[in-house]
């Protein structure tokens, strides 16, 4: 049977291309799937993963979870290079998207099977994440390039609006999923929380298949792909754009922490806002919700207003956006400094920072997406889209690398001795005295530090003290090597459980999935842990835990200030790039309405 003919070039028309609604619908469902899964990933690793085995181990440390999250994100945005290669040399964009979408669905299935026989929960998780990275990443450059392929010069005036709609569809899907999947995780557990996004991915695949008859199918170029990509013009195009993408990578290193370090920070905030008690992962829904509002605001009001003052080129938009990111992260750094001092700030401060980051994203991400497409020769659209996404990968690997570098490996538990513990007891008694003499408040780091330093461990090194938040502090012995931040450090973490004041309704709230699971596998110990977390203790309790190594070299507000200053330096440097960069625009050639050929 002969292959069914499809349009292989845009038709000369001023109308909106017929395939756009299918692409927009596919993107909304696929983004629900992706952001739903990714939105709960950090919380899942720190609070749920260790419960998916009959004998629970240790939860993954926060810094390690942040590193893993960004490594996964890095792979998601690196595999577009493979997707672009497949699309431009062998399969074409349509077949590449369809085939890798099936791989994508299998990844979600693996996540939904965590805790079932065959592999450990962690191995199921890693298998699922690798498949999703291959499937999701592989289709990314093809989908955005496929959008552009639907246009010719006659209807290219639709391009900016359609890329805006495309971005809105991404954020509608993301907003809905980041509100829904944390609730699924909270009340129904990981299987439902990861399974429902998998169903949405299957729907996304079906929607894309439905649009096959109206899409413009640009055929793969085979060997011509290599000729064009590695020609002088191709290499110059890649080199020029990569300069832009390198700066944008730093933007992504900060922005994507809204799904990792920002979520973990939200656990220490007062999350009641607008009369709703928000889950930490749900806060991410604010960003895509704001995108839907800000895209038209910027497009119809902000950009025209600025353009009246000076010509607003794409590179100037990106430059302004990089500077806008700086105060957004500075607010989060200040917020963390309040937490470090023992306060519980409102989640409203983080939401304000989200609003600033969203404005930055509108100016940087959408603009760079469209700019990358227009700057790519017609035979290199997927490759350049992949390189744009590779900038996201670089940013996430940078963040993962920083978090791995600042995390000290765990040491030998045998390092802990009874003598060392006795010194902790003495220091803990001083902290306890201060606590009850100061209205049940823990000493801040600058107060507790000198108190702990008056006591030496068995190796004659003074003890260290750090306040983590209003209910947690750490005492640190340098250990036998007498050096800070090594695998010999002995750390005693003490957490305070307080009775819930003036709220008896918590006792009547049903157990969520995590609480039920804790009781199921830990028995009475699990029940006591649930009571402590709910504030069900009758009087104040102190709970100690000793570990060896595993400290973090850059934590608290210092961590967020590091990223703030990094962003400022990047924004200043990019100004000079924007001044001297010479853009060159390419669009697809048009064909007569009856021009079709088998694909």
Report pLDDT digits (tens) over 121-154. Answer: 999 999 999 999 999 877 877 777 677 676 666 6
Beta bridge partners of 456: 462
Task: Count CB neighbours of 26 within 10 A.
Answer: 25
Instruction: Give φ, ψ of 468 to 5 degrees.
Output: -85, -50
Q: Which residues contact 401 (CB under 8 A, 6 or more apart)?
A: none
Confidence of residue 14 (pLDDT cuts 50, 70, 90): low
Going from the C-alpha of 369 to that of each of 164, 283, 361, 363, the distances in angstroms are 10, 25, 11, 10
CATH number for the domain that contains residue 364: 1.20.1250.20
Answer whether residue 598 shows pLDDT above 50.
Answer: no
Rounded mean pLDDT, 322-339? 96
Mean pLDDT of the chain, nearest integer: 85
Does residue 573 share a domain with residue 484? no
pLDDT of residue 163: 73
Burial class (CB in 10 A: 0-12, 13-18, 19+), 350: buried
Does residue 342 share a domain with residue 238? yes
Q: What domain range includes position 476? A: 413-499+536-548
**Range scoring the smallest mean pLDDT among 109-118, 280-289, 394-403, 491-500:** 280-289
Answer whether residue 19 shows pLDDT above 80.
Answer: no
Does residue 117 share a domain with residue 168? yes
Within a domain: 126: yes
CATH number for the domain that contains residue 463: 3.30.700
pLDDT tens-digit profile of 361-397? Answer: 999 988 888 888 777 777 677 677 778 888 999 999 9
CA-closest candidate to residue 139, choices 29, 241, 213, 258: 29
Does residue 363 share a domain with residue 344? yes
Within a domain: 593: no
pLDDT of residue 559: 97
- Which H or E element spans position 69? helix 62-76
Does residue 434 share a domain with residue 368? no
pLDDT of residue 159: 72
**Range scoring the smallest mean pLDDT among 329-343, 390-404, 446-460, 508-522:** 508-522
Does residue 438 share a domain with residue 309? no
Burial class (CB in 10 A: 0-12, 13-18, 19+), 438: exposed
Where helices occur in 267-380 by DSSP H, the ranges are: 286-297, 303-309, 314-340, 347-361, 367-375
Rounded mean pLDDT, 100-108? 92
Does residue 569 share a domain with residue 484? no
Distance of CA 359 to the CA centre of its chain: 17
Contact 40, 193 (CB under 8 A): yes
Q: Give the single-character DSSP code of 51.
A: G
Within a domain: 350: yes
Rounded mean pLDDT, 269-297? 84
pLDDT of residue 505: 47
Does residue 372 share a domain with residue 419? no
pLDDT of residue 403: 96
Between 146 and 520, where is the model more confident? Answer: 520
Question: How far is residue 460's CA from residue 263's CA, in Å, rounded to a whole number?
Answer: 39
Does residue 419 share a domain with residue 403? no
Tokens of 93: 């964009």
The number of distinct structural domains making up the chain is 2
Contact 84, 385 (CB under 8 A): yes
Between 350 and 595, where is the model more confident? Answer: 350
Does residue 565 share a domain with residue 543? no
Answer whether residue 500 shows pLDDT above 80.
Answer: no
Rounded mean pLDDT, 475-482? 92
pLDDT tens-digit profile of 530-577? Answer: 888 887 788 899 999 888 999 999 999 999 999 999 999 999 999 998
pLDDT of residue 490: 92
Answer whether residue 2 shows pLDDT above 50.
Answer: no
Rounded mean pLDDT, 318-331? 96
Contact 497, 535 (CB under 8 A): yes
Within a domain: 189: yes
Answer whether residue 231 shows pLDDT above 90.
Answer: no
Within a domain: 379: yes
Question: How far is residue 111's CA from residue 121's CA, in Å, rounded to a whole number?
Answer: 9
pTM score: 0.88
pLDDT of residue 68: 95
Q: Rounded to the nearest 10 degrees, what angle do helices 314-340 and 367-375 cross at? A: 150
- 397-406 burial, b at 16+ Cβ within 10 Å, e below that, comes to bbbbebbeeb
pLDDT tens-digit profile of 44-89? Answer: 999 999 999 777 678 888 999 999 999 999 999 998 888 878 887 8
Tokens of 304: 């025209």
Does residue 263 share a domain with residue 193? yes
Does residue 421 share a domain with residue 389? no
Where helices occur in 469-523 by DSSP H, the ranges are: 513-522
Between 431 and 286, where is the model more confident? Answer: 431
Within a domain: 518: no
Within a domain: 553: no
Within a domain: 52: yes
Between 351 and 21, where is the model more confident? Answer: 351
Q: Residue holding tokens 């709220």?
A: 503
Tokens of 443: 């000493």
């Amino acid at each position: 049977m002969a292959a069914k003919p499809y349009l292989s070039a845009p038709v000369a028309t001023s109308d909106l291309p017929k395939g756009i609604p299918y692409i927009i619908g596919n993107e909304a469902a696929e983004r629900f799937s992706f952001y739903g899964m990714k939105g709960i990933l950090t919380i899942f690793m720190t609070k749920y993963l260790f419960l998916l085995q009959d004998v629970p181990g240790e939860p993954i440390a926060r810094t390690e979870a942040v590193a893993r999250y960004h490594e996964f994100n890095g792979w998601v945005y690196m595999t577009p290079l493979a997707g672009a290669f497949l699309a431009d040399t062998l399969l074409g964009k349509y077949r590449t998207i369809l085939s890798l979408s099936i791989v994508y669905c299998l990844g979600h299935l693996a996540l939904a099977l965590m805790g079932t026989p065959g592999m450990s929960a962690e191995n199921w998780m890693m298998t699922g994440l690798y498949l999703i990275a291959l499937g999701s990443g592989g289709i990314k450059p093809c989908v955005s390039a496929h959008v552009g392929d639907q246009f010719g010069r006659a209807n290219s005036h639709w391009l900016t609006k359609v890329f805006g709609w495309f971005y809105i569809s991404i954020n509608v899907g993301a907003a809905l999923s980041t509100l829904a999947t944390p609730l699924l995780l909270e009340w129904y557990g990981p299987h439902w929380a990861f399974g429902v996004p998998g169903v949405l991915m299957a729907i996304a695949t079906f929607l894309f298949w439905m649009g096959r008859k109206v899409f413009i199918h640009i055929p793969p170029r085979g060997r011509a792909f290599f000729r064009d990509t590695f020609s002088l013009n191709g290499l110059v195009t890649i080199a020029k754009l990569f300069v832009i993408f390198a700066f944008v990578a730093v933007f992504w290193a900060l922005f994507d922490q809204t799904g990792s370090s920002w979520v973990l920070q939200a656990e220490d905030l007062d999350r009641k806002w607008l009369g709703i008690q928000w889950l930490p992962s749900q806060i991410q829904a604010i960003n895509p919700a704001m995108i839907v509002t800000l895209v038209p605001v910027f497009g119809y009001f902000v950009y025209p207003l600025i353009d009246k003052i000076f010509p607003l080129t794409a590179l100037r938009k990106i430059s302004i956006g990089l500077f806008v990111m700086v105060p957004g992260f500075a607010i989060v750094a200040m917020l963390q400094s309040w937490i470090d001092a023992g306060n519980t700030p409102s989640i409203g401060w983080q939401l304000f920072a989200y609003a600033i980051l969203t404005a930055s994203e509108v100016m940087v991400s959408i603009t760079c997406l469209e700019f990358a497409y227009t700057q790519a020769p017609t035979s290199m659209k997927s490759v350049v889209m992949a390189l744009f996404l590779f900038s996201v990968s670089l940013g996430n690997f940078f963040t993962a690398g920083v978090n791995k570098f600042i995390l000290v490996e765990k040491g030998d538990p045998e390092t802990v001795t009874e003598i060392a513990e006795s010194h902790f007891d003495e220091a803990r008694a001083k902290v306890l005295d201060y606590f009850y003499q100061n209205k049940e408040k823990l000493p801040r780091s600058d107060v507790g530090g000198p108190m702990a330093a008056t006591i030496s461990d068995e190796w004659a090194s003074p003890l260290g003290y750090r306040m983590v938040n209003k209910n947690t502090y750490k005492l640190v012995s340098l250990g036998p090597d007498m050096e800070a931040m090594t695998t010999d450090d002995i750390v005693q973490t003490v957490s305070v459980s307080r009775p819930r004041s003036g709220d008896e309704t918590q006792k009547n709230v049903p157990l969520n999935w995590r609480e039920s699971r804790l009781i199921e596998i830990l028995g009475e110990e699990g029940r006591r842990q649930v009571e402590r977390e709910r504030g069900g203790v009758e009087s104040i309790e102190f709970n100690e835990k000793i570990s060896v190594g595993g400290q973090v070299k850059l934590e608290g507000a210092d961590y967020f200030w590091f990223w703030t200053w990094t962003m400022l330096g990047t924004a200043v440097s990019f100004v000079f790039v924007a001044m001297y960069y010479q853009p060159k625009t390419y669009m697809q050639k048009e064909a007569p309405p009856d021009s079709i050929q088998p694909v």
